[in-house]
Structure 1
Amino acid sequence: MVFPWRLRRRGGDKKEIITAIGNSDTDITIPPQFQCPISFDLMKDPVIMASGITYDRGSIEKWIESGNKTCPATNTVLKTFEQIPNHAIRKMIQDWCVQMGSFSGIERIPTPRVPVTQHEVSDICGKLSAAVRRGDHNKCVDLVGKIKNWGKGSERNRKCLRENGVGFVLCVCFEAFAASQNVFLLEEVLSVLTWMLPIGSEGLDKIASAVSLRCMMELLRSMDDSVRQNAALLLKELIALDETHALALAEVDGVAEAFVNLIRDEICVSSTKSSLTAIYHMIYYKPKMVSEFLETGLVNLAVEMIVDADNSVCEKALAVLEAICKTREGREEVSKNALVMPLLVKKMPKISELATVSSVSVMWRLCKTENAEAAVEEALRLGAFQKLLVVLQVGCRGGTKEKATELLKMMNAQVAKMEDGCFDSSMDFKYLKKPF
């Protein structure tokens, strides 16, 4: 139930919270005992603190998470942050909502779920670990289902699950059953693991085992798009932080085709970005994989994304092209696409600093190939000279400045050849004569 509350004063400093219900001209005053002392809103989940004051759970949690250790109403130091549900007040609020709803349309607030506690999370972790050791598939399904339901309850529950070791236990469970045919359990574990990110290194090591990676690859080829999306997200997290994990994934049969197909199927932006990030790291750590990715048509697919995808996807697609161009075979394939150079010039430096870094790097590598003179001339025709000057003026990271400077020198030299008769002199390149 969400209403636009407004505050007004009546008689001195006394404050009252009233609400405008729909288009009605009648103002419904919330009884003071039903208002949270922090937000002055109607309490939806009233809890009693150690000071004896009742607050709405969401409001007092924000107060405590901000570093406060006192009761907001009494300013006394709270000896404990335990929150005890005030069932009496909650029942009174619900009855009041029903009564007011008979003529104003106010809906009865739902009975809130009690948040999961650290003790409950520790208990279920122990039970799940024991069930995994016994190989008790059915018990694991029940326990993982309970964890999933807890996570669906609230962000507070998810935070409690993340902070109390659930991610590691789930990774152990996934590895233990990865070689089995218990697909439902594995899919459930995978869906909950996406809430646990970032997962610690010990848990990631379990997912990076040979049997787990083979299972993840099967899930990446699943007919269920949500399963594929979850698998891509977890694999992206896995290999982005550890070279060893990236190399291990690169050894799995069919990995290139699986990720490229996920991009081609356009399930969602999240899965596309996860796949592009994973591809970039695999090529970065194992350049020999370029051949495998080229066979899947990755270059043309990446170019298509640069043309019409949003900026975040475009940035990652440019990074993939940059990684591909680090090999001779990759540069040759990229140079065959007629849209590459126009897109590099157009996108630089519009999207982001990282996209500019990738664009300059790809252009620099293409202008140093066997067909370098043609590439430099094409870049000049498209206005790359001015764009590179802008890049130098706004500043750039790493070796981008050096690459941009070298490209400008190459273009300056190319202009001299054009003026010697190798190119139509009707185009005015006088502004390019300044040496670099």
Structure 2
Amino acid sequence: MRRDDLYITVPSFFRCPISLDVMKSPVSLCTGVTYDRASIQQWLDSGNNTCPATMQVLQSKEFVPNRNLQRLIQIWSDSVARRQVEADSAATSVVVPSQDQVQVLVKQLDNNCFSSLAKIVCFAKESEENREFLARMDGFLNAVFDFMRNADSDIKLIEQVVKILDLMSSKILDKKPLLESNCLSTILLVLQGGCLDSQIQSVRLLESIAVDGESMLKIAEKDGLVSELVKSIRKEKDPRLIEASLSCLIAITMPKRIKTKLVQSRTIPELKNLVSEPNTTVSIIEKSLKLLETLSSCKEGKAEIWHDTILLQAIMKKVLKVSSKATEHAVTILWSVCYLFSDEKAQEAVVSSNGMTKFLLLMQSNCSPAVRQMSADLLKIFRVNSKSCLSSYDTKTTHIMPF
């Protein structure tokens, strides 16, 4: 343990009652007491049939993951890491270098690369003018690209490079070097082992280089990259990382081949968790529904959503509850699954979630023409009584396709 760690106060309920260490994977027994999975598993494997804290005889040896506590521990751990980084930065008292000093630092990158890169990051953060200066500097971007291509296992060094590229992304006119396999491997390395801020920066960097179909395919076809992005939208992750990863996935998911790959990578169950979570932010719900809408436009995605009654009900609950943008995405998904696919089981799930009332309200609201038309289409297939208020509504208007 480092000396600095002695000054970090760990909340008592973050510690496992058996090992007294911060829990990595908290699970709860039937007695309601939470332990770290490894510790309680070892206790039970040793032949014990009691709860270590209460000594009650266990009616069941099964345990349930404590997701809320795991999320709290993750947030606390990240905040501790950030404070440590801030303390280290304050201790080093880095002064923003001048333009002349930056030119010297660029020439010295090979000799003292970490220190030089850290100072260049400070320079780039300072102003838009500084970032433009770096972009115009002969050989600077090529030197940074070389770092990406030839990155070794020094994750701290790689994180500095990713920081610079994230700051400079709008100034990089030719993004092709970043699509090279070695560069994408470096970004993947940060996603897998970097700190939270670096992970977010690497995801934003990926989104910035997904400018056309070719670049989207290169990103999606890089082994491990899509699966790592999908891991980054798990509900126990930091909301900032979830939001950045959702934006990136939306950006790369235009080609049909990528939609299919995302479905195969178990993206829809992760989106279901986000949409069903009561404390999810508005922005994350909107992006989750947008990605579900995109995936519902391919056969594989549509079929998976159609088979999941709980997901359909969760989507229906977001209509008129979150925002106009979320409502539009939700209605489009339901229209795609229930109207185009015409599945009775999916239709029953929507009707059971008060769907008919909500679609009637939508048609009378100030929603977009596309949403109004899709609502009318959905009401028609739910066999609304002809004497209802829909009898005077003209549904023969030119249909507005949402895709």
Match of 2:162 in 1: 190
**Is this contact kept in 1: 2:148–2:161, CA < 8 A?**
no
Matched, 1:291 2:252: no
CA offsets per residue over residues 271-325 of structure 1, 9 Å max, x none?
11111111122222x2222333233321111011012211111111111111111
Identity of aligned residues (%): 21
User: 1:250 matched to which residue of 2?
Assistant: 220
Counterpart CA distance in 1 for 2:224 and 2:269 is 19
One of 317, 324, 342 as aligned partner of 2:313: 342
- Equivalent of residue 273 in structure 1, options 243, 248, 256: 243
Q: Does 1:146 align with 2:116?
A: no
Cα distance 1:126–1:397, how it changes in 2: closer, same or farther (>3 A)?
A: farther
Hey, what does 1:12 align to over in structure 2? none
Offset at residue 432 of structure 1 (A) = 5.9
Change (3 A) 1:159 1:130: same
Distance 2:343 2:136 in 1: 51
Q: 1:304 to 1:114 in 2, by over 3 A?
A: closer
- State the partner residue of 2:55: none
Highest Rg: 1 or 2? 1
- Alpha-carbon separation, structure 2, partners of 1:397 and 1:343: 22
In structure 2, C-alpha distance between the alignment counterparts of 1:125 and 1:281, rounded to whole Å: 34
Residue 178 of structure 2 is matched in structure 1 by 207
C-alpha distance after superposition, 1:358-403 (max 9, x if no partner):
1011000111355523333332332222322333333344733332
Q: 1:406 aligns with which of 362, 370, 377?
A: 377
Q: Which residue does 1:62 correspond to in 2?
A: none
- When the two chains are superposed, the root-mean-square deviation of aligned CA atoms in Å is 3.2
Alpha-carbon distance in 1 for matches of 2:249, 2:288 = 10
1:164-179 alignment, distance < 5 Å: 164-166=133-135, 171-179=141-149
* Offset at residue 114 of structure 1 (A): 11
Following the alignment from structure 1 to structure 2, what is the Cα–Cα distance between the partners of residues 238 and 404? Answer: 37
Deviations 1:110-156 (A, max 9, x none): xxx99858xx33x355445545xxxx5334433212123446xxx7x
1:340 Cα deviation from its structure 2 partner: 2.0
Worse-matched range after superposition: 255-264 or 390-399: 390-399
Q: Deviations over 1:171-191 (max 9, x none)?
A: 433321223244343211212
Code of the residue aligned with 1:295 in structure 2: it is: Q
Moved more, 242-251 or 201-210: 201-210
User: Taking structure 1 as reference, are residues 415 and 205 closer, same or farther at Cα in structure 2, changes over 3 Å only?
Assistant: same
Amino acid in structure 2 at the alignment position of 1:315: E
Q: What SS does the aligned partner of 1:178 have?
A: helix
Amino acid at match of 2:351: L
Q: Relative to structure 1, is the Cα distance of residues 243 and 387 closer, same or farther in structure 2, using a 3 angstrom cutoff?
A: same
Match of residue 331 from structure 1 = 302
Please state how far the C-alpha of 1:352 moved relative to its aligned partner: 2.1
Q: Which residue of 2 aligns with 1:311?
A: 282
Is the CA contact 1:175–1:207 (under 8 Å) kept in the aligned structure 2?
yes
Letter in 2 for 1:191: K
Range moving further from structure 2, 255-264 or 308-317: 255-264
Give the aligned residue type for 1:288: R
| 1:21 matched residue in structure 2 | none
Secondary structure of the corresponding residue to residue 358 of structure 1: helix
- AA matched with 1:217: L
Query: For residues 433 and 362 of structure 1, what CA distance do their matches in structure 2 show?
Result: 25
Shift of residue 226 of structure 1?
3.5
Q: Displacement, 1:233?
A: 2.2
Contact 2:96 2:122 in 1 (8 A): no
Q: Which AA in structure 2 matches 1:179? A: R
Q: Could you say what secondary structure the match of 1:253 adopts?
A: coil
Structure 2: runs of 5 or more not aligned:
1-92, 396-403
Larger RCO (CA under 8 A, 6+ residues apart):
2
TM-score (norm 1): 0.60
* 1:320 alignment counterpart: 291
TM-fit CA distance, 1:430: 5.1
Amino acid corresponding to residue 158 of structure 2 in structure 1? L
The alpha-carbon deviation at position 244 of structure 1 amounts to 3.7
Whole-Å separation in 1 of the counterparts to 2:263 and 2:225: 13
Q: Which amino acid aligns with 2:252?
A: M
The yes-or-no answer on 1:216 pairing with 2:187 is yes
Q: How many residues were matched structurally?
A: 298
Secondary structure, in 3 states, of the residue corresponding to 2:216? helix
- Counterpart residue identity of residue 247, structure 1: L
| Counterpart code for 1:263 | I
1-structure distance, mates of 2:179, 2:300:
29
